[in-house]
A and B are shown apart, each in its own frame.
Chain A
C-alpha cells in the first residue's frame, strides 16, 4: 500500500525509475513534423496554386518549359516532399481515429504511407526527367 502511493506521487513507471533515462523523446515527432511541414507548405502551396492558374489549358511545350525551369523544378520537388509527408501524416491520424479493428488499422496505415512514397517518387522522377 505504501509502495503504491509512492509510485503515484512520482508519476513514473518502476522501469522508468530504474533506468533513469528520462523520456523517450520521440513521442511528439509525428505531431511536430506535421506542424513543420505545414509551415513549409504555406508559401509553397500559395506559389503552386497561383502558378497553376497560368498553366490551365497551356500548350505542352509551355508546361515542359515551366517544369524544366530550375527555380520551378526545385520548388516543385520541395512542395511534393513536404506535401506527401504532411498528407500521409494527416491521413494516418484520420485512420487512427476512425478504424477500430487493429489489423485493418495497421494495414490501412501501411497502405497510405506506402502509396504516398510511391506517388512522391513517381512525381519527383517526372520533374527530374523534364528538368535534367
Chain B
C-alpha cells in the first residue's frame, strides 16, 4: 500500500478478504462522473453558478460604493457596466443568478425529502434548465424594452 499523505486518508484504510491492507477509494470526484448525464452536470453547475454569484456580489458592492462616493466614481462604474464586455458579464451573471435560484429551490425540495426518484430528478432538472432560459430572456426583455 502506498504511503498516506493526507491525514483524512487514515479513515479510508481497509482490509481485503485475505487480510492485506488496502486503501479504499475516496468519494467520487469530477473526473469520475459522467458529465454527459444531466444529473451530474446540473449538480456541478449549481456550485459553479454559486461561485459566479459571489463574483457578481463583488460587482454589486462596487456599484453601491461608487454610488455612495460621488458622481464621477458612479459614472466610471456605469460606463464599465454599459460597455460591451460589461453587458457580456452581466448577461452571464443573469444566467448564473437564475440558474442558482431555481436549482436552489430544487435542492430545498431534496432537503425536505421530496423528488429523489430518477424520473422526478430528471423532470425537475429539465424544469430548472427551461426556467433559467425563460427568466433570463424575460429579464433582458425588461432591460432592452
Bound complex: CA A42 to CA B109 (Å): 14
Q: Check if A33 is an interface residue, CB within 8 A of chain B.
A: no
- Count of A-B residue pairs with CB < 8 Å: 76
- Tell me whether B65 and A35 are in contact (CB under 8 A): no
Q: Check if B101 is an interface residue, CB within 8 A of chain A.
A: yes
Within 8 Å CB of B74, what residues of A? 60, 63
**Partner-binding segment picked from A1-9, A10-18, A19-27, A48-56:** A48-56
Q: Check if A78 is an interface residue, CB within 8 A of chain B.
A: no
Q: Which of A114-129 contact B (CB under 8 A)?
A: 119, 122-123, 125-127, 129
Looking at chain A, what size class is its interface with the partner chain?
Answer: 20 to 34
Q: Which of A45, A53, A84 has the most CB of B within 10 A?
A: A53
Q: Check if A75 is an interface residue, CB within 8 A of chain B.
A: no
Using CB atoms, name the residue of chain A closest to B66.
A126
Within 8 Å CB of B97, what residues of A? 45, 49
- Tell me whether A94 and B47 are in contact (CB under 8 A): yes
Q: How many chain-B residues does the 8 Å CB contact rule pick out? A: 35
What's the least CB distance linking A119 to chain B, in Å?
Answer: 5
Bound complex: CA A53 to CA B7 (Å): 49
Within 8 Å CB of B98, what residues of A? 49
What's the least CB distance linking B140 to chain A, in Å?
Answer: 8
- Known contacts A50-B139, A53-B139, A53-B142: does B78 contact A123 (CB below 8 Å)? no
Q: Check if A108 is an interface residue, CB within 8 A of chain B.
A: no
- Tell me whether A42 and B105 are in contact (CB under 8 A): yes
Bound complex: CA A67 to CA B12 (Å): 53
A-B contact pairs, 16 of them (CB 8 A): A35-B108, A39-B108, A42-B104, A53-B139, A53-B142, A53-B143, A60-B67, A60-B74, A63-B67, A64-B67, A76-B64, A90-B50, A90-B51, A90-B54, A122-B61, A123-B64
